[in-house]
Structure 1
Amino acid sequence: MSEVQVVAPLFPDVTQLDLTGPIQVLSRLPGARISLAWHEVAPVGTDSGFSILPTTTFEDAPQADILLVPGGQGAFALMDDAAALDALRRQAAGARLVTSVCTGSFVLGAAGLLRGKRATTHWASLPLLEILGAIPVQERVVRDGHLLTGGGVTSGIDLALTVAAQWYGADTARRIQLGIEYDPHPPFDAGTPESPGADPDQVARTLEKVRRGRGPIVERAAARLPGAPDRY
């Protein structure tokens, strides 16, 4: 059975579920080999208060069949990391699937990989994707050719099951879903801004905070892209 190389950057302040959720699914693909890459093999702190150990460096990582870019606040620092962006561009050029979870899509955008592509991200940051030339789509998982992007955090499991079905068929994806007992029944209906239990004030505050805090970072990344409009 041929190997399936899954490569994901592991960076400081990553939202760990963006990474570990889909990796739990993808690691169950027949022949899967998981590589978590950073500049050095040393513990990397997540946004959940614990660290994860990379398995390789960007230079030594195998060529990905599936490139997975997680999100988190650290993704916005990664947008200013030229070496990391170069490594991801090289990986994306040879990957059969390029994927992201949550704000990992902004890293793809900063690498110039979202121009003219339909893509999604966490609802609070979705309006900012357009700055990077993407076509924002408010859906759980969005596919545009060999590019798949997931919405906020927990959507990474849905994205990975979508990848599993595409790679090995729906039966394999169903077996993985059953094996991990992925059958969510949340106690509240407040998971999106449109949900009945969502607090409109929280939505408004979050959108404004993200616009002010992340907007300038995204604008700066957009200005570095080849052929960027003068307004950037």
Structure 2
Amino acid sequence: MAKVLVPLADGCEELEAVTIIDLLRRAGVEVIVAGLKPGVVKASRGVQLVPDVTLDQALADAYDMVVLPGGMPGAAHLKDDVRVVDLLKKMASAGKYTAAICAAPMVLAEAGLLRGKQATSYPGFLDGVPDVTLRAEAVVQDGTVLTSRGPGTAMDFALQLVETLVGRAKREQVETALVRP
């Protein structure tokens, strides 16, 4: 079974976080939700999210993918956390998947993972990042790096994560059950 880590920081975008976690779990993926610090995470619109573990506890395990929800200042907190940046670098060097949506692709850029890649983000968050080819698509996958634009693309992003981890048939099964047009 695929195993995914979703780190959460205060100020994260709740629609993105919950959509990612929910759809991956619907697909049978093991999802570990980790708070940067102990306790409840207060998301950008005031929704309170309860992580499964702290990031320090989560770092004891291995993952097939790390997915970063966006939102501000949540994405900035992720970018400023050396544990998150170091984990992303380790994932990339091991050929594992890294993914980010909205403002969070800036964390991938901070870790050096977007050099020579095609990527997308919430408008403006990757402007001026060298050696990145910016795209306007809802979801962009370049090798083991997946990025997406924002809350409105969260479901498309999560479904692409499902397809990448467990295949097209599972994506179609999850998507059909969601009654997507």
Structure 1 residue runs of 4+, over 4 Å off? none
| 1:38 alignment counterpart | 35
Whichever of the two has the greater Rg, that structure is 1
| 2:110 alignment counterpart | 110
Task: Map 1:118-133; keep pairs closer than 5 Å.
Answer: 118-122=118-122, 124-125=123-124, 128=127, 130-133=128-131
Structure 1 residues 9 and 173: alpha-carbon distance in aligned structure 2, compared to 1, 3 A threshold: same
Q: Normalising by the residue count of structure 1, what TM-score does the alignment of the two structures yield?
A: 0.70
Q: Which has the higher strand share?
A: 2
RMSD (Å), alpha carbons: 2.0
Task: Map 1:78-117; keep pairs closer than 5 Å.
Answer: 78-94=78-94, 96-117=96-117
- Native 8 Å contact 1:78 1:84 kept in 2: yes
Task: Map 1:1-232; keep pairs closer than 5 Å.
Answer: 3-30=1-28, 32-61=29-58, 62-73=61-72, 74-94=74-94, 96-122=96-122, 124-125=123-124, 128=127, 130-183=128-181
Q: Which moved more, 1:167-176 or 1:61-70?
A: 167-176
- Native 8 Å contact 1:65 1:95 kept in 2: no
- Native 8 Å contact 2:2 2:165 kept in 1: no
Letter aligned with residue 166 of structure 2: Y
Q: Distance in 2 between matches of 1:13 and 1:77?
A: 8
Q: Distance in 2 between matches of 1:141 and 1:47?
A: 22
Deviation string, structure 1 residues 169-203 (Cα, Å, up to 9, x no partner): 322211101212233xxxxxxxxxxxxxxxxxxxx
Any gaps of 5 or more consecutive residues in structure 1? 184-232
Q: Distance in 2 between matches of 1:94 and 1:59?
A: 20
Higher relative contact order (Cα pairs below 8 Å, separated by 6+ residues)? 2
Letter aligned with residue 63 of structure 1: A
Any gaps of 5 or more consecutive residues in structure 2? none
Q: Distance in 2 between matches of 1:95 and 1:39?
A: 24
Q: Distance in 2 between matches of 1:10 and 1:52?
A: 9
Matched residue count: 178
- Native 8 Å contact 2:7 2:36 kept in 1: no
- Native 8 Å contact 1:119 1:136 kept in 2: yes
Q: Distance in 2 between matches of 1:60 and 1:94?
A: 21
Structure 1 residues 133 and 57: alpha-carbon distance in aligned structure 2, compared to 1, 3 A threshold: farther
